[in-house]
Structure 1
């Protein structure tokens, strides 16, 4: 279950597509994220959440939804202790570093009711710092090891894609400016976004955004700001065909 605009839910779709798993996609409006039936599945009221009818497992928190039980050939994970822990280390760095800082920068840049340049600068600098950390990790790899861990793409690499994919919009910079000083990160990112599985995930997103009449930032068409959107939700004024 997912809302279409935000990046976190697309990590899960990316994984499902890359592993060629069958799944049913349930997308709903942001208005309903704090209401039943979704709040009954995820009491935190955040997307995504996944229900697995084969195992009876329900999970929320995108970093936890790595569907490793279905990666039986270890295409996106490792079995050995060292590489498994390194993957989890990078996944936690994504969850604690990339997601929160990139999200806050996007909020203050595009959605906050007032422009607070100091807040934008703080989080924009954090984005550059996170990209710098990834540059160090990738720069320590050999020429034949172009991924974050070992010599193959894993769920650790894939987790970074949905947020990095939006950096030009978030920072309001060209891609040359976004990746200035981090050439290995750019090369790594550009390989990931060329994957057919990522392109299929994006096709789903574009279709749903259009069906739900949403602007790129998740605000419905015809509404100027996120604050106006929240006010309409609070008053029960959001109506959909």
Structure 2
């Protein structure tokens, strides 16, 4: 059994979706970051960094934070959704790191400046609007001749998809990125993605372009 401590953010959703895809038994625990739950002492005892998500794998005794590390751990644990060797393995990790190091942080800033604080910092809004569009163009180019980010559906797709699901907050029209739109809708139709999207609780239907 795995305990998942999470909230309804892209980083939280990616791990919930992964747990559904891996078919692992887990219990979700709500950490409402809008109420500061992540700074409660009982949660800080699990993750001193005060971030979500965190898993506790009672089978192995491992407690793990950082969503990218969790995805790698689950893939290694199950032997699924991450090639064991060769170029495909390295490219899967490459695109996972692309999400962790660029796509996620930039889009998180886009949420902050374009959606939650619009008009407060025009320079930052312009910066993150342009960089968000550049990253969507990169993703669209990558998906031009393939169904998934690498050869097959992988943890890289699971990591990127929840961030794309916030496209409206990025002020992005997915119709302008047809390869991203095709990929996004393909993954949105997966039963495991639909289930993971509602963890730790239902908020809305998966956004449609």
Equivalent residue in structure 2 for 1:46, among 34, 37, 51: 51
**Is 1:88 aligned with 2:93?**
yes
Equivalent residue number for residue 13 of structure 2: 10
Tell me the number of residue pairs that the alignment of Structure 1 and Structure 2 aligns.
197
Instruction: Using structure 2 for the length normalisation, give the TM-score.
Output: 0.86
Q: Which residue of 1 is the match for residue 163 of structure 2? A: 163
- Determine which structure has more spread, i.e. the larger CA radius of gyration: 1
Q: 1:110 to 1:138 in 2, by over 3 A?
A: closer
Judged with a 3 Å threshold, the aligned counterparts in structure 2 of structure 1 residues 16 and 94 are, in CA distance, closer, same or farther, namely same
2:187 to 184, 192, 202: 192
Report the CA distance shift for 1:22/1:137 in structure 2 as closer, same or farther (over 3 A). same
Partners of 1:171 and 1:178 within 8 A in 2: no
SS in 2 for 1:43: coil
CA deviations over 1:35-89 (Å, ceiling 9, x no partner): 22111221211100111011111110001111013423x3x11112211111110
In 2: Cα distance, 1:70 partner to 1:193 partner: 25
1:27 aligns with 2:22: no
Give the SS at the match of 1:25.
strand
Ranges in structure 1 where 5+ consecutive residues have no aligned partner: 211-241
**1:200–1:137: structure 2 CA closer, same or farther, 3 Å change rule?**
same
Higher relative contact order structure (alpha carbons within 8 Å, sequence separation ≥ 6): 2
Rounded to whole Å, the distance in 1 between the matches of 2:148 and 2:118 is 39
CA distance in 2, matches of 1:105, 1:113: 10
CA positional deviation for 1:205 = 4.6
How large is the RMSD of aligned CA atoms in angstroms? 2.0
- In 1, the alpha carbon distance for the partners of 2:95 and 2:77 equals 21
**Contact 1:14–1:201, Cα closer than 8 Å, also in 2:** yes
Per-residue CA deviations over 1:198-234 (Å, capped at 9, x if unaligned) read 1112233543x59xxxxxxxxxxxxxxxxxxxxxxxx
Change (3 A) 1:112 1:86: same
* Higher strand residue share: 2
Q: Give the whole-Å Cα distance in 1 for the aligned partners of 2:130 and 2:5.
A: 29
* Aligned partner of residue 84 in structure 2, secondary structure: coil
Normalising by structure 1, report the TM-score: 0.75
Change (3 A) 1:89 1:172: closer
1:102-156 per-residue CA deviation (whole Å, 9 max, x = no partner) reads: 00010112333962222122112111111111122222x3xxx411111x10111
Confirm or deny: 8 A CA contact 2:110 2:129 kept in the other structure: yes
| Displaced runs of 4 or more, over 4 A | none
Task: Measure the CA separation in 2 of the matches of 1:88 and 1:69.
Answer: 12
